[in-house]
Structures are given as C-alpha cells and as structure tokens.
Structure 1
Amino acid sequence: MKVLVTDPIADAGLDALRDAGHEVETGYELEGEDLLDAVSDAHGLIVRSGTEVTREVFAAAEELVIVGRAGIGVDNIDIDAATDEGVIVANAPEGNVRAAAEHTVAMTFAVARSVPQAHVRLKNGEWAKGDYLGAELDGKTLGVVGLGRVGQEVAKKLDSLGMDVVAFDPYISEDRAERIGAELVEFEACLDRADFLTIHTPLTPETEGMIGETELDLLDGGYLVNVGRGGIVDEDALAAKVEDGTLAGAALDVFAEEPLPAGSPLLEHDEIVVTPHLGASTEAAQENVATSTADQVVAALAGEPVANALNAPSIDESAFPRLEPYVEIAETAGKIAAQLLDGRIEEIEVTYEGEIAAEDVEFVTASALKGVFEPLEWQVNAVNAPQIADDRGVDVTESKTRQAADFQSLVSVTVGDGEDEISVDGTLFAGDDPRIVRIDGYRVDAIPHGRMVVTRNADEPGVIGLIGTVMGSHGVNIAGMFNAREAHGGEALTVYNVDGEVPEAAREELEGDDRIVGVRYITLNGH
C-alpha cells in the first residue's frame, strides 16, 4: 500500500514503513492541487505541523485509511472531516514528551537568568555583568496550565528543583496531581499564585486566546513560558505587559503564526526569549515520533487497532489477541441482525456476557455498529460507525454481565425499529472457531461465513424437504443446515449456508407456500 509523507520525519520511520512492505512516497513541498493529486491513491498519510489536512484533502483521498501525526498537536488536521470519511487520525504523544519538557525547563532558566541576552552582549564584546539580576527558581511557585504528559514531566522536574507547583487541568484528578507533587487549583488561582507559568494545553476553540490581557494581569511580576502550542496566548497583550513591566519576562517556543513574522512585537523586547519551535527538536525525539507514527500506520493498514487513535476506539496491545476474534463475531452478528430486521433501524444494543465482559470492548462495539450499518450501503468502518449512529439518531447501548449461562463468552447484537427487534448471538468454540449460536432466541449452531438463508417456517414434516427442493431447482447448493424450533409443532427457524447467490425467484417460490413464514437472504464477508 502507498504511504505519503508530506513533512520530514526521521529515516527510522520511513524504514519501518518499507520493512512492512509499503510503498513510501515523500513530498515535502506539496500543497494545493499537487497535494490533492498525490493523496488521491494514498492509503496512509504522515504529516507533522507543516501540512494542513483539510476536509478537501480527505474528500480527495478515497483510499485513505489513516493520517499519522508525527508529534502531539493535531490542530492542522480536520478530525471531524476524517471521522466523516472513516479515516483514523493518530498522533505520537509519547515520543517528544521528554524533549518538550526539557526545553521548557531550559527556557525557564533562560528567561529567569537572562542567558540569551547576556550571551549576545558578551559575543559582541560587552561585559554586562552588572546589567542582569536574575531570579532563582528555588522556593518560587510554578503554575502549570495543562497537566498532561508534558505538563506532568515539567512539574516533576521543577518540583525536584525546589519549586512549589500549582496546576490547572479540569480533566485530571486531585489524587493524580498530588502524586506528581502538584496542587490542583482553579485557572485564575493558578495564574495569581504563579511566579513562573508554563502552558501545556492543546490548541482548541476553547483554549485559543485563553490567556489575554486580563489573565496576564493575574501573573503580575511573574514570567510566562510557552513550549506548548501557539495561539493560546494573546501575543500582542503579552508584549505590552512585558513592556509596561506587568510581567518580568516571557519565553516562547511556539507562536500563532509560524515562522514568527519579522514585525512581531515579541521581537522588540530583550525580556522576551524566543526560539523557533525547538521543543521536539532532539535526535531521540525525532526518531521516537517517527517510529511510533510508522508503527500506527502499519497497524491500521493491517486492519489492527491503533494505539493512539484520536477518533477511533483502540485496543491495548496486550489485550488484542484476546479480543480480535470477537471483533469479527460482533461485526458478523451486526450484519445478520440488520439484514433480518424488516424496518428502519432506530436502536442497537450490544451485550457482553461471561469473560469478555471484563475487557475494554469499545472497539468490539464499534465493529458491531459497522456490521449493522454496512448492509445499508453506508460508507462505514469502525472509525465513523459511532458517528453515523449519532448523526442518524440511532440509540446505541452497551451492557455487560459476568454471568453467562451456556458459554464462556457471548456477544449479542440486537437491532430494533421501535416496535420489533432482532437479536443475534455469537461466540467462539474451541477458542478460535466463531459461531452464531442464537438468532432471535432460537438456538442454532451456524458458521458465520459467505451466504446464508434464514427461514421461519411451520414445524411440520416435509417443510425442510420443500426448501431443499426449491433451492436445488434454482441451482443453489446447500453447504450446511442448522435447525431450531420453539416447540414441537410450533414455529421453527433454520439457517442454511449456501454456495451461491439465491435468486429472488427462489425466495418468492418459498414464500408462496403457506408453511413458510419468512425467508431472508444474508450476505457476509464481502459477498
């Protein structure tokens, strides 16, 4: 498969893609129509921050399975558009954590001790020893906005240097913050108490411009350090607050517009230290994010769960061997249930019984939804299936119970139209042999593969013979049959595995017999 790489990554990542058998095409200057042409037949796309992956790009890339971001930030990728098109978006959040945290610490020391300014003046022949009176970090308060991976690493490093740490993050528990030596506080309190403020939040509509003039006033006398994402701090307000002495200084590695324009007010003040987005620029970090991203692309193209998918359910690598067979069972049960229901699907329930109920089954549920929607000829996969359900007002529920009366593990998919519903249950025999074991409450033992015919008929002598005769007269070979009934002389349900397509004329002939309640032709596995 073709993987297009539009921003430079370390050779180790390119080598990993080629070793997996994929064709790698690089195009580091692609934009506009050239980018759309190049991505049109790509199955994977790897970018950094330089490529804008817009809705137009996704629309042009009909074969695209995954976009891998070699780094953390994904504000250059339209994730909603990716989800709509069923494309996985994954990043590499671990690869440059250490590098970004270390650069944050370096920038904190640099602005506190005026290192760059003194360096330049000494290089120019000035011994300006008396012009710089720095601030020590020991005993000062560090404010951390965003206590994610990088924020936690910065907090731990500066805590060990004698700083008191307060942090604002609405998505982390107090217990977790305490374990890394941080006191969790509200946003305004974090700024008000901080002598040094570091920022580690993603750029989102909620965080864009979140630190402006009012917030900077709370940091009165302090320093601001941003090695996270540009656009979170109002740069004009920051420059003004440094100029009027409200802030003692600032250190920035990221900017709202990159490269930083020559006329930026940030360049006018010696008390503002700037670097050209070097947070992840270490040899180790670049290799780590490249190989991590490549590994996720390889997994996605092999049909396996992706570890750091941002818009798709994932499975822990250690759990994947246990759950992989149930992914197929859930998808197949969903396909069968959707094709058996004679009505518009309004609700879906996925139930797990037995040992599988102890697992993280988010990816399995998404696969069940994919199975339900696929027969309806929607463009669907496990990435966009939950979104499709939401967009179409389909109510989805998931339930678990550790109790399973007849099986070690059981997956059940039930679809309904508000009045009627159909349930299909699947399990594994002998560890790896998938079977459909119940359809609408009837106990069967059907092999979920290829083409199937499901009939409801009166439990009377000669009915199964009639069905076989009609199938044979239309050239349909029956490969297997699984029969169940509710009670002697009542209604029976039979599943036939067949070798070829069942013509409409055969179904009409069967339904013309008063003993046949209904006939459903089911296609699986791409048929």
Structure 2
Amino acid sequence: MKVLVTDPIADAGLERLRDTGFDVQTAYEADGDDLLEAVAGADALVVRSGTEVTREVFEAAPDLAIVGRAGIGVDNIDIDAATDHGVIVANAPEGNVRAAAEHTVALAFAAARSVPQAHARLRDGEWAKGEFLGAELDGKTLGVVGLGRVGQEVARRLGAFGMDLVAYDPYIGEERAEQLGAELVEFDECVERADFLTVHVPLTDETAGLIGESELREMAGGYVVNVARGGVVDEDALAEAADDGTLAGAALDVFEEEPLPADSPLLDAENVIVTPHLGASTRAAQEHVATATADQVVAALHEEPVVNALNAPSVEESAFDRIRPYVDLAETAGKVAAQLFDGRVERIDVRYEGDVAEENVELVTASAQQGVFAPLEWNVNAVNAPRVAEERGIEVTESKTRQSEDFQSLVSVTVGDSENDLTVSGTLYAGDDPRLVKIDGYRVDAIPHGHMLAARNRDEPGVIGFVGTVLGDAGVNIAGMFNARETIGGEALTVYNLDEPVPEDALEELLADDRITDVRSIELNGE
C-alpha cells in the first residue's frame, strides 16, 4: 500500500510506516497538479499545515482511505469532501499538547515582563532598566477561551502560579472545569474579567475573528496570548489596541497568513511579541505527532479503529477487540435485510440486546448502515454512511437494552418504509463465530457467508426436496441449510448456503411452483 507524505514529519513516523511494509513516498514540494498526480495512487496521505487537501485531491485519489494530520489543526483539510468520498480524517491532538501549553505559558511570561523587547535593547547596547515595568501573574485572572486539551494544560500551569481561573467553553461541563479550579462563564464575562486571555480553539466559521475590537476594549490594560490558530484574533484590531495602549501587551504564535507578511502592523507594535508558529516545535512533540499519525494510518489501512478520527466513528483500542466481531455482524445483517426487503428503505433501526449494549457501538451502527446501503450499489463505507442516510432522508435510530431472553448478545437491524419493515438479527457463537438467528421473525441458525438463498414456502412435504433438485439441475451445490416455520402447515422460511450463485432461470423455476411464495438470492463477502 502507498502512503504519500507531503509535509515533513519526524523520521520516527516514517520509520513506523515503513516497518509495517507500506510503500512510503515523500513529495514535500508537491502542489497543484503535481499534488493531484502524486496522490492518484495513494492509499493514505500524511500532511501537516502546509498541504491544502481540497475536494480535488479526494477526487484524484480513488483509493485513499485516510488523511493523517500530524498535529491538531485541520482547517487545511476539506473534511466535508473527505466524508463524501468515505475518507477518514484523523489528527494527532495529544502529541503537541504539552509543547503548545508550555509555549503559551512562555509567551504569557514574556509579554508580562517584556523579555524579548528588553533583550533586544540590551543587545543594541542600551541598559533600559527603568523603561520596562512588568506585571506579576500572581493574583491576576486568567481567562481561558477553549478548555480543551491545551487549554486545560495551560490552566493547570498558570493556576499553579497563583492566578484565578475563568474559562469559556460551551462543550465542557462545569464539573470538569471545577476539577481544574476554573469557573465556567459566558464568553463576554470571560473576556471582561481576564487580565490575561489565552486562546485555545480551532479556526471555524464560529471562531473566526472571535477576539475583535470590542473584546479588546473590554480587556483594557490586559494581555492576549494566541498559540491556537491564526484568524481567531483580529490582527489589525490587536495591533491597534496594543499600539494605542488599550492593551498592555500581546503575544502571537499563529497568524491569518503565514509566513507573517513584512507589512503586518503587528511588527510595528512595540509591545506585541510574535513567534513563527513554534507551538509544536519541540523534538519530543514532533516525534509524538509523527508516530501517533503513523499509528492511525496503520490502523485505517488494516481496517482497525482510528482513535482520533474526526469524521468517522472511533473506539478506544482497549474496547475494539470486544466489538470487532459485531462490526462485521451488523454489516452482514444490514446487507441481508436490504436484499430481502421489498420496499424503498426509508428507515433503519439498529437494536442491541445483552452484553453488547454496554459497549460504545457507534462504529457498529455505522457499519450496519453501510451494510444496508451496499446492495443498493451506493458508494458507502462506515465513514460516510451516516451522511448518506441524512442526505437521502433515511431515519436512523439506535436502541439498547441490557436484557436479552435467548442470547448473551444480540444485534438486530431493521429496514422499513412507512408501511412495512423487515428485521435480521445476529449473534456470536464461541466469541466470534457469527450466526443469523432471526429473519423476519423466523428463528433460524444460518451461517452468513458467500452465496445464500432465502426461500419462503408453504410448510408441505417435498418442498425442500424440490428446491434441492432445481438447484442441483442448475449445478449449484448446497453447503448448508437452515429451516424455520411459523406453525405446522403454515409458512416456512429456509436459508441455504450455496457454493455458487443461483442462475436467474433457476430462480424463475422455483417461483413457478405455487408452494413457493418468495425466493431471494443473497450475496455476502464480495463473492
């Protein structure tokens, strides 16, 4: 498998990919048409912030399974396009958390004590001892915008210096904030109360220009530090607020345009410190993000869970072995249900009973949807199945119950329209041996594999023999058979495992017998 790396990463990450046996190719200068040509045959793409992964890139790479971002920010990757093409996007949020937090703390102290400005003056021969009156952090209020991984690390570190902590983050609970010693407040209050404001949010439509002219006025006499993403802080407004004395100081490591243009007003503001996107630039951080990204590429190409997938269901590695068999089982149940259902699929319900109901089954549910859509010849996998369902107006529900009457665990996939539905239920024998145990209410014990035939017929003598004769005459060997019936003399359902697919004329011959009410071929496992 080919892994294309278009931005430099630490050698440790490249070595991990090569050790797995992948064909690792680097194209650090690739852009435009060169990038499209280079990615054409790639199974995985590894980038940092330098490569723009656009919709055109995904269209040029039909085999692409994953884009690994060696770092946190993914604003250079079109995630919607990735999802449309069934490509996982995964980042490495843990690898540079410590480095980014430490750089934030360093810039906060540097801004408070004018360290680089005093250093520059001294290098120029000036002993400007009386010109720099700094601020102490002890007793001041730190406002943290975004209490995620980096924000939490910054809060811990600066809280240890005696700062009072307030934080704004609509996606974190009060209990977690309290554990960090922070008071969770609304955005406006966080800005208003902060003596030092640190920013730790991604660049999105919601956060672009989040810290602008009005917010900076509320911070009169305070300091702003941004080691997150450029564009979150309005740079022109910041430069003006720093230059006219509204702010006591500021420090930025990220910018709307990188490298920072020579005519940026930030460079003319004496009390603004700028560094060239160094937040993740430590040896340890670079190795961590490289190896973490490599691990996720390996997982994706081996069809294992991707821990930090941003657009696909993920599962903790420790839990994957427990749910792995159910992923395939749910996909199979979905395939069988879709091939047996007569109507247009308007809704899908995935139900979990027994032990499996205790697990994180997001990936299992996505796989069930993938299975339902597969016979419809839609280009769907577990990455884009939920989106396909949403776009096509298909209602998807998931339910769980710890109780299960007959099985330790049971997964049921129901497909239906406004009037009818059909359910296929499966379980695992001996840990990972799949069985279909119920089809449309009939209790069966079918092995889901390869070519199958489901026949509904009146429960009369000779019907199964007739089916066997027709299949034999067509050169189709029966590998297994599983029979169920409603009542004696009522309707029966028989599932056959076959060594070959059933020819169309044999299906017509079966349906021509008035004892047989329905016959469906089922194809599984790509055979």
Normalising to structure 2: TM-score of the pair? Answer: 0.99
CA distance in structure 2 between the partners assigned to 1:115 and 1:448 by the alignment? 69
How big is the shift at 1:315?
1.3
How big is the shift at 1:431?
1.5
CA distance in structure 2 between the partners assigned to 1:489 and 1:139 by the alignment? 85
Match of 1:458 in 2: 458
Deviations 1:56-79 (A, max 9, x none): 111111000000000000000000
Match of 1:350 in 2: 350
Match of 2:99 in 1: 99
CA distance in structure 2 between the partners assigned to 1:139 and 1:432 by the alignment? 59
How big is the shift at 1:130?
1.1
SS of match in other structure, 1:152 = helix
Match of 1:317 in 2: 317
CA distance in structure 2 between the partners assigned to 1:45 and 1:414 by the alignment? 36
How big is the shift at 1:126?
1.2
Map 1:82-481 → 2, pairs under 5 A: 82-481=82-481
Deviations 1:229-264 (A, max 9, x none): 100111001111111111111100000000000000
SS of match in other structure, 2:99 = helix
Contact in 1 for aligned 2:451/2:521 (Cα 8 Å): yes
How big is the shift at 1:430?
1.5
Deviations 1:168-216 (A, max 9, x none): 1111111100101111111111111111100000110100011111111
Contact in 1 for aligned 2:352/2:410 (Cα 8 Å): yes
How big is the shift at 1:132?
0.6
Match of 1:510 in 2: 510
Segment of structure 1 superposing worse, 205-214 or 281-290: 205-214
How big is the shift at 1:121?
1.2
CA distance in structure 1 between the partners assigned to 2:343 and 2:471 by the alignment? 26
Match of 1:6 in 2: 6
SS of match in other structure, 1:428 = strand
How big is the shift at 1:467?
0.5
Match of 1:26 in 2: 26
Letter of the structure 2 residue corresponding to residue 180 of structure 1: L
CA distance in structure 2 between the partners assigned to 1:174 and 1:397 by the alignment? 30
CA distance in structure 2 between the partners assigned to 1:94 and 1:3 by the alignment? 22
CA distance in structure 1 between the partners assigned to 2:332 and 2:166 by the alignment? 51
Contact in 1 for aligned 2:243/2:270 (Cα 8 Å): no
Letter of the structure 2 residue corresponding to residue 56 of structure 1: E
In structure 2, stretches of 5+ residues that fail to align are none
CA distance in structure 2 between the partners assigned to 1:181 and 1:514 by the alignment? 76
Deviations 1:400-445 (A, max 9, x none): 0111111000000010022111110110111121111110010111
Deviations 1:287-310 (A, max 9, x none): 000000000000000000100000
CA distance in structure 1 between the partners assigned to 2:189 and 2:329 by the alignment? 51
SS of match in other structure, 1:256 = coil
Letter of the structure 2 residue corresponding to residue 14 of structure 1: L
User: Between Structure 1 and Structure 2, how many residues are aligned?
Assistant: 527
The alignment yields a C-alpha RMSD, in angstroms, of 0.6
How big is the shift at 1:331?
0.4
CA distance in structure 1 between the partners assigned to 2:214 and 2:29 by the alignment? 40
SS of match in other structure, 1:400 = strand
CA distance in structure 2 between the partners assigned to 1:431 and 1:245 by the alignment? 69
CA distance in structure 1 between the partners assigned to 2:414 and 2:138 by the alignment? 61
Letter of the structure 2 residue corresponding to residue 85 of structure 1: H
SS of match in other structure, 2:518 = strand
Q: Which runs of 4+ in 1 moved over 6 A?
A: none
Match of 1:522 in 2: 522
Tell me whether 1:484 sits opposite 2:476 in the alignment. Answer: no
CA distance in structure 2 between the partners assigned to 1:398 and 1:296 by the alignment? 27
Query: Alignment identity in percent?
Result: 74
Deviations 1:255-285 (A, max 9, x none): 0000000000000011000000000000000
SS of match in other structure, 2:82 = helix
SS of match in other structure, 1:318 = helix
SS of match in other structure, 1:134 = coil
SS of match in other structure, 2:304 = coil
Contact in 1 for aligned 2:91/2:308 (Cα 8 Å): yes
SS of match in other structure, 2:318 = coil
Letter of the structure 2 residue corresponding to residue 147 of structure 1: L
Map 1:35-114 → 2, pairs under 5 A: 35-114=35-114
SS of match in other structure, 1:308 = coil
Contact in 1 for aligned 2:427/2:435 (Cα 8 Å): yes
In structure 1, stretches of 5+ residues that fail to align are none
Letter of the structure 2 residue corresponding to residue 331 of structure 1: E
Contact in 1 for aligned 2:412/2:423 (Cα 8 Å): yes
Segment of structure 1 superposing worse, 126-135 or 291-300: 126-135
SS of match in other structure, 1:319 = helix
How big is the shift at 1:338?
0.3
Letter of the structure 1 residue corresponding to residue 126 of structure 2: E
CA distance in structure 2 between the partners assigned to 1:418 and 1:148 by the alignment? 43
CA distance in structure 1 between the partners assigned to 2:190 and 2:235 by the alignment? 20
CA distance in structure 2 between the partners assigned to 1:342 and 1:500 by the alignment? 24
CA distance in structure 2 between the partners assigned to 1:218 and 1:145 by the alignment? 15
CA distance in structure 1 between the partners assigned to 2:417 and 2:19 by the alignment? 48
Letter of the structure 2 residue corresponding to residue 219 of structure 1: M
Segment of structure 1 superposing worse, 382-391 or 417-426: 417-426
Normalising to structure 1: TM-score of the pair? Answer: 0.99
CA distance in structure 1 between the partners assigned to 2:222 and 2:523 by the alignment? 67
